[in-house]
Every structure is written in C-alpha cells, then in structure tokens.
Amino acid sequence: MRSRQMTAWSALDEVTDTSAFVRSPSTFRSSVSRDGRFPAVAGRYHLYISYACPLASRCLTFLKLKGLDHAIGVTVVMPIFERTKESDEHRGWVFPAAADEEPGAEPDPLNGARSVRELYEIASSNYVGKPTVPVLWDKQLKTVVNNESSEIIRMLNTEFNGIARNPRLDLYPAHLWASIDEANELVYDTINNDVYKCGFAKKKDDRVLMSDLGSLTSIHDRARELFYYLKGGQVYYGEEHSKACGHNRFGRIYHIGHYPVRYEHNPVHFVGHSAGAQVVRVLHHMFTDKAEEVVVEKTKTMIKSIYILSKVPLDRCS
C-alpha cells in the first residue's frame, strides 16, 4: 500500500499562547475482540513503542506480564526525536536505519517505514495529528488498530486470554475498577500532562511556571503514596513494575530535561518542592533494590535521551 503525506504536528502545537497545554485525544480507537473486525489471533498484531514514553512502555509491561510476547511482536523506536521527512520541519519518532545504530532500537520489520509518521500515513491517507506511540498495528489490514495506551492495556488484559501464557492474571479486576480509574486519571491528567505544561510553557515568567510546578510536585507526592500502596496493598502488580514505568522516568527525564532550561539560576528550586519522607523512601528502594537495577539498566539511556537530546529550542518558547 502506498502512503500519502499527512499533516503532522507535535506536543509544541498543543500549547496555547497562554501556556496552557491541551493534549489532543488519541484518534485510532478500534478494539481487538474475539469475534470483531480485529480478532484476537496470534501473529496478527505488532506493538510499536518507545522506552522513553511511560504510556507506551506500560503496554509492553502488560504484554510481558500476560505472556503475550510470543503472539504479538514488538519494535522499539529511536529515543530521540528527529526529522520525519525532508519536505518539512516536523520532528518525531523514527526508526534506526540499521539494527546496530542504537542499542535496543530496531528498524521497522513490517513496512520498512522510516518513522512512526509513515506508519500513520499508511494507515490513513487523510490523518491529521500527532504520530504517537504506542501503536497497536494490524499486519493483515496494514492499519493502526489503536494508539491509546489505556485502551491497549485493557485489550491485552482480557481479549487475548485465549492465547496468553498467563490468562488467569487479571490486572484490572472488576472490584477495583473505580480505584484504578482514579489512579490513572491522577497520573495522566496531573502528572503526564503537567510535565508538558511546565516544560513547554511559552512564557518565561517564573510565576507562571511556579504555579505549574507546585501542582505537579504536590500531585507527584500523592502518587508516591499510591506507589507504596501498590507495593504493599491488595493491588499487586509486582514490586518493580510501577517503579520502572513511572518514578525512574520522572527523575531521569523531567528534572534534568525540562526544568534546568527555566531554573539555571536556581537549580535546587524544583527539588525543594518535593523533598521529604516520601522522596527518601523511594530513593532508598531505588538504590537498594538490585532486581530493579536490571530492569532500568537496559533502557535508562533511552529514558534519558528523549527530553535531553530532543530539547525544544528556546526561541520556540518565547
């Protein structure tokens, strides 16, 4: 199938003149089901992710936990935003030209695409929006089934049980739906999105950024409490999963990726907001937990890269 050129944008285009960040909703929202257009068949689907993106990475976590890695292929993109086409200035997720170009990243094995943008162009000739990850790809129909991580993980949890190695593992039990949904809303709306509000703010007025930082760091303290509940309470995802997908990225990406651009004159300012007992507890676990080191060591270079090496030019923020 021949692709056509799309109109692409990035997160920068979702920041208003008043520095408000308004994330566009995901566009491809179809579902895998046992008897629908996208049946749960082994070998039919492929997952495209970035280790640098916690939303995409949680899809890989679910795939591994459910034992579906034999049935659904996975390809990891480059950790740095690069030009997706020579004809315009759009920068986004790209594939390496060769398997040895970036440890962990791989060329697209299915379509030979050079970027995630090209995948979207193959899937839809009139798509307008952000070419994001994760992408759940249908190899048979050559299209994007879904690019909303919260929906992909729920499909992986229930719809593939007929071919999963761990079909009895339920990561979204019915009696905890309300609690899990509340936690997801907390993380998505007030942590993931607030990071962009702070990092891509178009005004250099410290008062604007202070407001966003205060909200972000106070919510992150609440998330730490939830993290310890998950480790010790009845919702058990394993001791490493929440930590590897969220807390490590927060420290490695956001502190040294976004904020030094704004606070070079006061590098400890942001840390001061969240210094406290919860920080000490998290750091203690991260420095003493050997199993977690194995998980993070494989991907920490990619986790660091996306916001440090793909920094938004300062003249775009003025």
For 71, phi then psi, to 5°, come to -110, -20
CB atoms within 10 A of CB 141: 13
Q: CB of 54 within 8 A of CB of 246?
A: yes
Question: Can you tell me the distance from the alpha carbon of 45 to that of 313, in angstroms, rounded to the nearest whole number?
Answer: 37
CA distances from 245 to 27, 33, 36, 84, 240 (A): 24, 27, 31, 27, 9
Taking alpha carbons only, the member of 115, 124, 262, 101 closest to residue 197 is 262
Please confirm, yes or no, whether 53 is among the known catalytic residues: yes
Specify which residues 92 forms β-bridges with.
82
Question: Can you tell me the distance from the alpha carbon of 303 to that of 301, in angstroms, rounded to the nearest whole number?
Answer: 5
Specify which residues 8 forms β-bridges with.
129
Burial level of 116, CB count in 10 A (0-12/13-18/19+)?
A: buried
- Residue 250 identity (one-letter amino acid): F
Question: Can you tell me the distance from the alpha carbon of 225 to that of 282, in angstroms, rounded to the nearest whole number?
Answer: 10
Q: Which residues are catalytic?
A: 53
